[in-house]
Amino acid sequence: MPVTVHNPVSKAVKREDTAHVAEKYRSFHNEGMGGSSLVRKQRYMEMVNQYYDLVTDFYEYGWGQSFHFAPRKRNESFEDSLVRHELFLAESMNLHRDMRVLDVGCGVGGPMRLFAREFGAHVVGLNNNAYQLGKCETYNREAGLEHQTALLRGDFMQIPAAEASYDAAYQIEATPHAPDKEGVFAEIWRVLRPGGVFGGYEWCMTSLYNAGDPRHQEIKKGIETGNSLPDIASFDDVTGALQNVGFEVMDAFDTADNSDPETPWYRALEGRDFTIKSLPRTAIGRFFTTWALRILEPLHIVPKGTTDVQDFLNIAADSLVAGGRLGIFTPMYYFKARKP
C-alpha cells in the first residue's frame, strides 16, 4: 500500500476482529452506545488496551518509537524535539548511572532506551499492553540494552512491584489514561524509596478552558475520544493529586510555552512540515488515507472497521490542533515531585 494510505490498524488486531474491536472502543466514548466518563473510568484497562492494539503500528509509523509531543525550537526537526524533551525530563530528575528507574507506561520504549544509553540508568518499563511490550523487548535487545532494561506487564493503578523498590520514576503522557490521578500517583509514591523523584508530562486543559463553552467541550471530548482518555485533568488536579498522596511538588509548569511560536507542538499534525515520513501525521496525508480507505474497505482490501479507526484518529488530530491553537489544552504539563 502506498505511504498515503498506510493502514491505521495494528497487526495486534486480527483482520476479522477489526470491526468488532473498533466498535467496542467507540462505544466507550458514545453516550448512545453506553459510553460515559464513569464507564471509561470503570473499564479503563479494556478501553486503553483496545486503543493501543488498534493504533500502535500507526503511531510507530508516523511518530517513531517515542509516543509523545514536544515543544519545538525554530529550525529544529520533529525528531530532535522529541529527544530534547525527553532529555529535559531526565536531566531535571538527575537520572544517573546505576539508578533503578521505573518508566510508567513505557510504550515501545523510545524514552527508556535513551535514558539507559545516555545516563547509564537501569530502566524498568511498565505497560499494560502486551503488543507494545513485545515490540519494546525486541527493540531493547536490538539496541544491546537488555542488561540495562527490563519490562513489567501490569496496570499502573496496581503496580506489580515492592514498596520502595525504585530510586526514581517518570511518566511521559501515560497517566492521562488513568481513571484516577490520586490512585496512580499513590502507587508510584509506594514503589519509590524515600527521597525518590517522580517526574512527568501530563495532558491538561489549561486555565483558558471554559467548561461552559460548547466549542471547548467539543474539543475536550474529541481529544478524549481520539486518544482513549477517561477525562482530561486541569493543572490543579495534577499538582493537587501529587500533594494529596504525599509528594512534595518541586516544580510544575506548561512546557508548551517553550515552543517557538512558529513551531508549536501541534504543528506536527497540521501538515506544514511536508516529508514522506511526516505524511501520515498531516492533514493532507490523513485526507488521502481517509478517502482511499473509503474505497478499499467495501472492496475488502482492508478489513471492515478500518475507516472507523481512521475516523477516530482524525478526530484526535483535529481536536488536538484546535485545542492547541486556542491554548485550552496542553499535552506537556511538566512536573517534578519528591517523596519525602
Q: Give the interface segment with ligand SAM, choosing from 103-111, 138-146, 229-237, 294-302 (CB under 6 A).
A: 103-111
Q: Give the interface segment with ligand SAM, choosing from 3-11, 23-31, 151-159, 191-199 (CB under 6 A).
A: 151-159
107 in contact with ligand SAM (CB under 6 A): yes
Q: Are strands 166-172 and 192-205 parallel, antiparallel or unpaired?
A: parallel
335 in contact with ligand SAM (CB under 6 A): no
Map grid coordinates 504525599 to a residue: 246
Q: Give the interface segment with ligand SAM, choosing from 11-19, 105-113, 261-269, 276-284 (CB under 6 A).
A: 105-113
Task: Name the grid cell of 270.
Answer: 497540521
With CB under 6 A as the contact rule, the residue among 174, 188, 241, 309 that binds ligand SAM is 174
C-alpha 273/C-alpha 263 separation (Å) is 10
Closer to ligand SAM by CB, 180 or 260: give it: 180
202 in contact with ligand SAM (CB under 6 A): no
62 in contact with ligand SAM (CB under 6 A): no
C-alpha 72/C-alpha 143 separation (Å) is 27
CB of 152 to ligand SAM, least distance (A): 9
Query: Contact 303/23 with Cβ under 8 angstroms?
Result: no
Q: Are strands 122-127 and 149-153 parallel, antiparallel or unpaired?
A: parallel
C-alpha 169/C-alpha 171 separation (Å) is 7
Map grid coordinates 503500528 to a residue: 57
Task: Name the grid cell of 178.
Answer: 488513568
**Strand, helix or coil for residue 121:** coil
Q: Give the interface segment with ligand SAM, choosing from 34-42, 65-73, 300-308, 314-322 (CB under 6 A).
A: 65-73
Nearest one of 315, 320, 319 to 331, comparing CA atoms: 320
How many residues bind ligand SAM (CB under 6 A)? The answer is 23
CB of 58 to ligand SAM, least distance (A): 13
Q: Are strands 166-172 and 100-104 parallel, antiparallel or unpaired?
A: parallel
**Distance, CA of 29 to chain centre:** 18
Q: What residue ranges in 32-116 does DSSP mark as E strands?
A: 100-104
269 in contact with ligand SAM (CB under 6 A): no
> How many CA atoms lie within 13 Å of 236's alpha carbon, on the beta-carbon side?
2
CB of 257 to ligand SAM, least distance (A): 20
- In this structure, the number of other CB atoms found within 10 A of the CB of residue 37 comes to 15
Touching ligand SAM, residues 203-262 (CB under 6 A): none
CB of 67 to ligand SAM, least distance (A): 4
- In this structure, the number of other CB atoms found within 10 A of the CB of residue 165 comes to 15
CB of 181 to ligand SAM, least distance (A): 12
Touching ligand SAM, residues 31-50 (CB under 6 A): 45, 48
With CB under 6 A as the contact rule, the residue among 26, 72, 113, 177 that binds ligand SAM is 177
Q: Are strands 329-338 and 248-254 parallel, antiparallel or unpaired?
A: antiparallel
Query: Contact 306/186 with Cβ under 8 angstroms?
Result: no
Q: Give the interface segment with ligand SAM, choosing from 73-81, 99-107, 230-238, 267-275 (CB under 6 A).
A: 99-107
With CB under 6 A as the contact rule, the residue among 62, 110, 264, 280 that binds ligand SAM is 110
With CB under 6 A as the contact rule, the residue among 21, 22, 26, 52 that binds ligand SAM is 52
With CB under 6 A as the contact rule, the residue among 25, 28, 58, 67 that binds ligand SAM is 67
Residues that bind ligand SAM (CB under 6 A): 45, 48, 52, 66-68, 105-107, 110-111, 126-129, 132, 155-157, 172-174, 177
